[in-house]
Amino acid sequence: MAGRAAVPEVIWARPERTGRGPKPAYTRADIAAAAVRIADAQGLDAVSMRHVAAELGCGTMSLYNYVPRKEDLHELMVDAVSGEHEQWEPSGDWRADMLRVGRQTRELMHRHPWLPRLMSPVYGFSPNALRYLEHCLACLDPLDMTYGMKMQFVGMLNGVVTMYVSNELATAERTRSLPWSAEQENAARIGYLGSQVATGAYPRLAAAFSEDPGPIDLEAVFAFALERVLDAFAPKG
């Protein structure tokens, strides 16, 4: 006989506790904080129900009474760190405010390097994520466009930041695994690139490198990427 079909459930729609029985030993905040500590120290792959239970000092099966699925645990984690977003009184300058949002999001992802892996619209409507979205929309109040477009704006900004930080983290992880320094590798690669451009086979690349020989200012590249997103939504004319 076929089993019952699974029913989709949002953890935030479930009461954290019922009115019956003794007070639970842990809160969702306790569980999320334990999982975040593990992920920050050992990476997302180290986060398991067993590991979180051990961090809390409880049995693995008892943890399922609070968090039915590992996906729910991930959602608790994303919500917990989303609460670190600073919220300020919007300045009235939507560009300045959204640039600040983008830079803050980048800093948040560097504090929690596992976060880009869990960035998903599925987790975008937890309590702290909703407060973050509401704050972004308040920052965008001076912009004359529909709320639907403003939501697209926030989504695009987050996407650009997530992609940029993911590349930064991947580069840093690769560098840590090398038997030489990043400076030594860059020098070797630049030397090779220069020898290839000097053959004359790549005239456009040669012109590009003669205009801007580097090094690349990664902070400027990040700022440029954010500015281009803002330009896409700026009023025309």
Residue labelled with tokens 């972004």: 136
Nearest to 160 by CA among 111, 122, 116: 116
Does residue 119 surpass a pLDDT of 60?
yes
Three-class DSSP category at 99: helix
**Residue 63 CB coordination number (10 Å):** 20
How far is CA 34 from its chain centroid? 19
Query: In the structure encoding, which two tokens stand for residue 129, read together?
Result: 């994520």
Please tell me the pTM assigned to this model. Answer: 0.86
Lowest mean pLDDT among 22-31, 74-83, 104-113: 22-31
pLDDT at 2: 46
Rounded to the nearest 5 degrees, what angle is found at the Cα of 119, between the Cα atoms of 128 and 167? 130
8 band by pLDDT with thresholds 50, 70 and 90: confident
Q: How far is residue 221's CA from residue 135's CA, in Å, rounded to a whole number? A: 26
Q: How far apart are the C-alpha atoms of 237 and 182, rounded to whole Å?
A: 45
